[in-house]
Amino acid sequence: MEFFYNFSSDSILFLITYLVVCISSFYLSSQLRKIGLPLVTGLIVVGVIIGPSFLSLISNEVIQEIEFMFDLSLGFIAFAAGSELFFKEIKGTFNSIKWNTISSILTTFTVGFVLVFLIFNTLNYFDNIQLDIKIYLSLLCASIFVARSPASAIAVINETRAKGKFTSTSMGVLCLSDFGVILLFAIIFSLIKSIDSGSLEIFNIIIIIFEIIISIVIGFIYGIILNLFLSISINKFFKYFLLVIIGFSAFIFSDYIREISLLIINKEIIFEPLLICMVSGIFVINKTDKRLEFLDFIHVSGKYIYVIFFTLIGSSLDILLVFQVFQLAILFFLIRILSLFLASYLGGQLAKDHMHYKLLGWTPHITQAGVSLGLIQLIQKEFSYWEYEIVGQVSIILISSIIISQFVGPPIFKWALNFLKETNRRKKISISKKKRAIIFGLEPQSLSVASLLKSRDWIVDIVTFETNKFLKVPEGITNIKIENIDKYNFDKIEYSKADSVICFFSDEINLEICKLSHSTYGNKNLIVRINDYLSADSFSDQNIKLIHPSDAIISLIDQYVRSPLGTSLFLGKEKDKEVRDIRLVNEKISGSLLRDMKLPRDVLMLSIKRNDEIILSHGYTRLLKEDIITFLGSRNSLDKLTLRFDS
């Protein structure tokens, strides 16, 4: 906290300089992303370039002055890790998740510790290091090996549109493991601090247990505070800034307790701030009604926090030392891969998973990012006094290993999803569910409707009795000619496969189409443009939506006057917003309450159609299989929901 203890005008200047550099870093990393470089790696690379190793836009003096930015970012990263753990989403595969998580944490840690300790005792590079320091470093490295990157796995799942048991189990294990690694690190960290200070006694072990329990309790208190701040009606961005400060305050509080305890009882009491922030995030996600707003806070603030954090990580690296230890980084990476494989196989055995899941269960866990780098930063900060600057060297080995995982992890996980058919199956579903509309009549209005539906990714066929040389059918829309309105001709155009039918012919012909449709093909979504009010009664026996042009215009103007924004949304006039009906066929979601669904922030559920009855939804509405649900939201989010519901 040097920034606050030695506050001056130079401190402000250093901070402003760094924030300006971060803007450039974000732009440059975005350009690097276009060539396939992961965002986190891109930010670290940019940090190295602008740091003391190359351009020296950020000097070592600036880095030391703004070190508090690490703690500011780590509080947020712990919030983000906690936000991934939503218990109601993992209950369906909890048995598999439970055993895989236990094995993932304990086996990875044990195997990692043994192999890293062997390396420290085998390679000449570490000959000068004392045995006890080697043991401490092996324990710390093994705890870093347990950390994963849920965000990287989520990005691959979204990209490949993956869905299935392997995908859902992997996400559950990733989220639980993040909680486990912070708890494990807190225990290892406290033990090493006590042993290294020469004060490991029964009393001190009791204090360590006390520290962990109190850290969790304080985490719940912080969760209540977060919920209160989320309830305040103030500017969104100012509120999110305050939430980041709350995370930072956990580090200030921890440092204060440490100093006070050292003065009063001559013993450091360490309340683990990462554990406090993660528990508070889990509390908000699972025990409050502010889950969606908290997720929006993570999404909106993350892009800024990650730029600040990872750029600073890159600037702190000694690039010459990175090249010196790169071979060791590859070795550490391979050791972690081996420990992950053994952990996933053992976890799969205990959970009685399919053999393919046992053999490939390690693939989602390769990539590391925020939590891992945050823990490394804490190790550097607390144990920098160890001889031969060994902590700095091991930290660079670990960071280099994490950078390797950023490149290798996503492609391997993507290959595993393809191998298990959890991506190919999604693509087939997406194609098979593409909706089809048949439009009877070729005229300017029918062409406009056809073009609009085509732009919404519908399959559109225009059916006519004769060819019209004056009207050109747009590319991608089929013009089909039939002779008569009968079952033979309707079967020829595969009428039974149409999701919606729109009639633009005369009222007499439209009535014939509706009667044949109703008697032979059952209920269809039939929309008929009537030309004469007197004809309306003729259509009353069928389940038909009638539109008269003059009435439609009057009603539209009326709606625009009374609700301009709502009308624009429903007509698709708002950019990237649309209304969509999605059929629920995913059995894992069936039976869930609406309030428990992790819907995107920009999506609103409007209604549910169940057994021809329209249900207006609320938080306690229970979703059932075969429900047709109407959503309003952005196209990107609705695409994700379609994949999730329609599996």
Sheet containing 478-481: order of strands: 478-481, 459-464, 436-440, 500-503, 525-529, 544-547
Quote the CA–CA distance of 445 and 451 in Å, as a whole number. 10
Sheet containing 603-610: order of strands: 577-583, 628-634, 603-610, 613-616
Instruction: State whether the Cα torsion 132-133-134-137 is positive or negative.
Output: positive
Hey, is 574 helix, strand or coil?
coil
Q: What is the pLDDT of residue 432?
A: 43
Q: What is the pLDDT of residue 85?
A: 73
Helix (H) or strand (E) holding 102: helix 94-122
Q: Diameter of the chain by CA atoms?
A: 99
Burial of 65 (0-12, 13-18, 19+ CB in 10 A): buried
Residue 645 sits at the vertex; the CA angle it makes with 639 and 647, to the nearest 5 degrees, is 100
Digit-coded pLDDT (tens) for 80-125: 878 877 777 666 667 778 888 889 899 999 999 999 999 988 888 8
Helix 236-264 vs helix 273-287: crossing angle, to nearest 10: 140
Residue 358 has pLDDT above 80, yes or no: yes
- The mean pLDDT value for 31-38 works out to 68
Q: What is the pLDDT of residue 426?
A: 41
**Which residue in this structure is represented by tokens 């997406």?**
430
Give the chain's domains with CATH numbers: 2-429 (1.20.1530.20), 433-557 (3.40.50.720), 578-645 (3.30.70.1450)
Digit-coded pLDDT (tens) for 569-591: 666 666 667 778 888 877 767 77
Quote the CA–CA distance of 8 and 16 in Å, as a whole number. 13
**Pairing state between β 459-464 and 478-481:** parallel
Quote the CA–CA distance of 277 and 247 in Å, as a whole number. 6
Read off the pTM: 0.63
Measuring CA to CA, which residue among 536, 538, 541 is closest to residue 551? Answer: 536
Q: Which parts of 342-452 are beta strand (E)?
A: 436-440
Quote the CA–CA distance of 160 and 243 in Å, as a whole number. 33
Residue 8 has pLDDT above 80, yes or no: no
Quote the CA–CA distance of 245 and 228 in Å, as a whole number. 14
- The mean pLDDT value for 209-227 works out to 90
Q: Mind giving me the DSSP string for 581-617?
A: EEE---TTTTT-BGGGS---TTEEEEEEEETTEEEE-
Confidence bin at 220 (pLDDT 50/70/90): very high
**Which residue in this structure is represented by tokens 């994963």?**
148
